[in-house]
């Protein structure tokens, strides 16, 4: 599988997040999966790439030209795809992927994760989305999403747009086993 990860680019993330990302990448390499990410060299993004490459796996980075101009790219990627802008980057990453795993990150990571969930709700992306809730990082966001469902702002079936994992092995297993989203559910969203 090509597994797209969204994750922090900050070089100051807590060590438990780095450890979980590294373990996930090693498991992916052991099973022959390819990492797709934003092509950055720092933070969890860089840790994932370093770990999968060191474990004999492959990593494809998709990064906009302005980030390359700032030398933010990871130079050890198996393949680096340079896009014109952020929108093209996100489209390309989703097109290449067979599943998404979202690790802890800031507003960029959360924006990417919520956008891909929205695409799934609209039937534009049907593949598994896993929220890797390391150490409860996403508890508040998941609570907000549950509130939206409880208050009928989102439909109950939308709770199945994503799965939640707390360990690297569980995140990978959910990415592999979660069924494709049924595009007919999109029609139910408008009712």
Q: What pLDDT, on the 0 to 100 scale, is given for residue 183?
A: 82
Q: What is the pLDDT of residue 185?
A: 75
Predicted local confidence at residue 46, as pLDDT: 97
Q: Please tell me the distance from the alpha carbon of residue 179 to that of residue 126, in angstroms, as a whole number.
A: 9
Q: What is the pLDDT of residue 189?
A: 52
So what's the pLDDT on residue 176?
Answer: 98
Distances (CA, A) of 21 to 105, 126, 150, 167: 12, 24, 32, 10
Could you give the CA distance from residue 49 to residue 37 in angstroms, rounded to a whole number?
8
Low-confidence ranges of the chain (pLDDT < 50): 191
The pLDDT score that the predictor gives to residue 187 is 61
d(CA 100, CA 12): 23
Domain locations along the chain: 2-189
| pLDDT number for residue 125 | 96
What integer pLDDT is reported at residue 191 of this predicted model? 45
What dotted CATH number matches 2-189?
3.40.50.450
């Amino acid at each position: 599988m090509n597994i797209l990860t969204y994750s922090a680019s900050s070089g100051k993330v807590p060590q438990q997040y780095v450890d979980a990302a590294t373990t996930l990448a090693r498991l992916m390499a052991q099973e022959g999966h390819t990492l797709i990410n934003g092509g950055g060299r720092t933070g969890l993004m860089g840790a994932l790439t370093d770990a999968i490459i060191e474990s004999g796996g492959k990593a494809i980075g998709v990064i906009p030209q302005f980030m390359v101009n700032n030398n933010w790219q990871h130079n050890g990627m198996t393949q680096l795809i340079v896009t014109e802008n952020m929108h093209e980057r996100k489209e390309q990453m989703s097109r290449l992927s067979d599943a998404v795993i979202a690790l802890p990150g800031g507003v960029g990571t959360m924006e990417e994760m919520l956008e891909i969930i929205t695409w799934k709700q609209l039937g534009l992306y049907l593949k598994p989305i896993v929220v890797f809730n390391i150490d409860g990082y996403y508890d508040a966001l998941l609570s907000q999403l549950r509130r939206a469902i409880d208050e009928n702002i989102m439909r109950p079936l939308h709770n199945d747009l994503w799965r939640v994992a707390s360990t690297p092995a569980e995140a990978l297993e959910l990415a592999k086993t979660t069924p494709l989203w049924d595009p007919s559910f999109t029609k139910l969203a408008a009712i």
